[in-house]
Chain A
Amino acid sequence: MREIKTLADLKKKQEEMRSRIKLRDNAENPESLVQVKVAMATCGIASGAKEVMEYFVDELDKRSIRAIVTQTGCMGYCYAEPTVEITLPGQDPIVFGYVTVKKAGDIIEHYIKEGELVDGIIPQNYNTIKS
């Protein structure tokens, strides 16, 4: 039963376990992380927001990008669902519309990783999203 025989064992165990509470650790300092908010009202879910959200969660983790993926209510852009708001550390939030799983991949690859803008940005008509 003794799993941990050396300090290396313990470190390995910690690595395994870290993901369990990463979400909690990250939540302490959201400003320093990439924040992804997926609109998950009925309109969003109907257009596949749930899959998109899951994709973000898995993919960001896979690429070891420290990010917080949350859901939010309807942002009002029902015509453009699924909509996703992305806030890079220190930058203003940007809202993307018609985000499919494929598009989500582009967003991660270009905007989140490189900071390059990609298609589908919805011009902002508000300053902050009330969450």
Chain B
Amino acid sequence: MSKYKMHILVCAGTGCSSSESNLVCEILIDEVERKGLGGDVQIIRTGCFGFCEKGPIVKVLPDNTFYTNVKPADAKEIVDEHIIKGRKVYRLLYTDPESGEHLPDSKHMGFYQKQIRVALRNCGTIDPENIDEAIARDAYQALGKVITEMGPDVAINEIKSSGLRGRGGAGFPTGLKWEIARKNDADQKYVVCNADEGDPGAFMDRSILEGDPHSIIEAMAICGYCIGASKGLVYIRAEYPLAVKRLKIAIAQAHEYGLLGDNIFGTDFSFDISLKYGAGAFVCGEETALIHSMEGKRGEPTNKPPFPAQSGYLGKPTNVNNVETFANIPVIILKGAEWFSSIGTEKSKGTKVFALAGKINNVGLIEIPMGITLREIIYEIGGGIKNGKKFKAVQTGGPSGGCLTEKHLDIPIDYESLTASGSMMGSGGMIVLDEDDCMVSVAKFYLEFIVDESCGKCAPCRIGNKRMHETLKRITDGKGTQEDLDKLKNLSYVIKDTSLCGLGQTSPNPVLSTMEHFMDEYNEHVIDKKCRAGQCSNLLYYVISEEECIGCMACLRACPTHAISGEKKEAHVINQEICIKCGACMEKCKFDAITLRSDYPRVSVPIV
């Protein structure tokens, strides 16, 4: 085999792919071939590096150079300068926002410094479509160890003592879940990987499947061996075509090598994995709904108990774990429970992957040890708030979670602290909000999502959330009343108390959480008819400045509803009762006399 002297890693995750990383990769390959360097330089399409904010990412090794925002037009320059002449292309290096310096490698980037990549260990390092690269990075070693050395009970104990908890959101201890599934006798059991990632803005699971599919296959096989299941199913959303493709390739390769199929590692353990496609219903992330969907039924939850471990897919004991949970399994087996539990806090061990989004400089995928603070995530990893704005809140746990505010910046991120602060870990969506975000609108956004995604089975979720959303809409439209606020609270408590599944039981959380921390904003909307963030268009007012207006009448003529009155060469006035906020006046004014204001101009104008 020829020895490559240099490796060029090109991110081929969904994010970078959508900004033409595949074209970058092809040009790199062409250029390298053209320069006769085909035998010296290997170009690899990898999974996600996490730094999606500045994608496409290209990394050149061995000198660990981290190029950001690489356009197809830049590819040739990288080959000509860096590969041939050994000169780095400075303009493509990441620039430290504080020092303004170009950072040559990812090690020195604040984004990576606090991260520990366990679940994402191979994402951005290996070619996910090549099982040999995965094997070189320890893939299937843990499976071999479990099957030939440890045995199911020891392995389950190892998982138990590692303290690993479900990364899908609820945080149920994984080892215990496996143990329960193991103890339920049945002629057939199933291992299900829940890859129905649905939180708005979350893409942890997608990235793992795209970047390191073998880790999931291996972990599912380990689980199958431990609980006594010979069949694995991945419930994956059809909107993740790349993840589906790579998973399929990986399964086929594992089959070819004999790492899936009959008599794995020469034992009588056989395991196979097939894919089931979801149609993108958020509720199908709930395990009973997921199982119904896999069975070809309507994707809606049923009461628990019976739990899937007792009666799941086709009525058989079924162990359902989330993608990220599975991704941790092989490492725990190989490095030991002790190593794993040395990371994290007392009750939350290991790391957690978050999808960092919103008003933050470094949008992307991060993996942090449990217990670091929100402040570290936002200001060190995330690089602070965009455009120097003021931090307002972080929404974690998606539509089931809540918001954390400035006073929570120094609490450690783990299951317990987040729950105690009125939010939750969730699957890992983390949306950063700044002073320009209206918290009532944030709550409304999540309720709108829930109204779309409720399965419709139970009345409180089906109708209650609709009513909550309508009430929030009234409030952001400036038509809310004090009574609406009381209704919101009662509905929230009743929906939480009476809904059938986790979706409904948590759906009012964004409302309760924003009401707890930002009640003054609700009151402003209801009483003062004001949105301090200026986000609620119905609570914005076009106002003509008496000083600036010269009375040219341009705005008056432009107004489609005749809301503007005033004599020539005298200051004009907008009648707020008639104004439809189209903005035509502001566009026409040549003197910048018209401004949008969030405080209500208490000038009464007689209706003409």
* A residues adjacent to B (C-beta < 8 A): 1-7, 10-11, 13-14, 17-21, 23-28, 30, 39-41, 53-54, 57-58, 61, 68-73, 131
Contacts and interface: CB of A to CB of B under 8 A. Distances in A.
A131 B63 contact: yes
A14 B87 contact: no
A59 B141 CA distance: 30
A21 B86 contact: no
Given A2-B258, A10-B141, A30-B62, A18 B266 contact: no
Nearest to A13: B135
Given A7-B265, A19-B1, A61-B3, A26 B62 contact: yes
A41 B84 CA distance: 8
Nearest to A71: B86
Contacts of B88: 131
A77 to B, nearest CB: 15
B258 A14 contact: no
Which range contains the number of B residues in contact with the other chain?
35 or more
Given A10-B144, A20-B133, A5 B265 contact: yes
A68 B173 CA distance: 42
A39 B136 CA distance: 31
B132 A17 contact: yes
B591 interface: no
A80 to B, nearest CB: 17
Contact of A72 (B86, B107, B256): B86
B85 A21 contact: no
B133 A10 contact: no
B63 A27 contact: yes
Interface of B: 1, 3-7, 9, 61-64, 84-88, 104, 107, 125-126, 132-133, 135-138, 140-141, 144-145, 147-148, 256-259, 261, 265-266
Given A3-B258, A73-B85, A23 B61 contact: yes
Contacts of B147: 7
Contacts of A7: 141, 144-145, 147-148, 265
Contacts of B85: 40-41, 73
A101 to B, nearest CB: 16
A53 B37 CA distance: 14
Contacts of A11: 141
B257 A4 contact: yes
Contacts of B256: 1-3
Given A24-B7, A61-B3, A6 B63 contact: no
Contacts of B61: 23-24, 27
Contact of A17 (B6, B87, B135, B259): B135
B126 A70 contact: no
17 contacts: A2-B261, A3-B256, A4-B259, A4-B265, A5-B265, A10-B144, A17-B136, A21-B126, A26-B62, A27-B63, A28-B64, A28-B107, A30-B63, A40-B84, A41-B86, A68-B62, A73-B87
A69 B5 contact: yes
A70 B61 CA distance: 8
B135 A14 contact: yes
A18 B134 CA distance: 10
A131 B88 CA distance: 7
Contacts of B4: 23
Given A23-B4, A70-B6, 6 more contacts: A2-B257, A2-B261, A3-B257, A4-B140, A10-B144, A30-B64
A1 to B, nearest CB: 5
Given A2-B258, A27-B61, A73-B86, A10 B126 contact: no
Nearest to B40: A54
Contacts of B258: 1-5
Contacts of A6: 148, 265-266
A70 B104 CA distance: 14
A5 B265 CA distance: 5
B214 to A, nearest CB: 12
B266 A5 contact: yes
A106 to B, nearest CB: 22
A23 B62 contact: yes
Nearest to B63: A70
B1 A53 contact: no
Contacts of A20: 1, 132-133, 136
Contacts of B144: 7, 10
Contacts of B259: 4, 10
A61 B5 CA distance: 12
A85 B132 CA distance: 33
Contacts of A26: 62
B367 to A, nearest CB: 15
A11 B149 CA distance: 14
Contact of A14 (B1, B104, B141): B141
A25 B126 CA distance: 10
Of B4, B9, B86, B133, most A-chain CB atoms within 10 Å: B86
A53 B63 contact: no
B251 to A, nearest CB: 15
Nearest to B256: A1
Contacts of B1: 19-20
Which of B5, B87, B137, B261 has the most chain A CB within a 10 Å cutoff?
Answer: B5
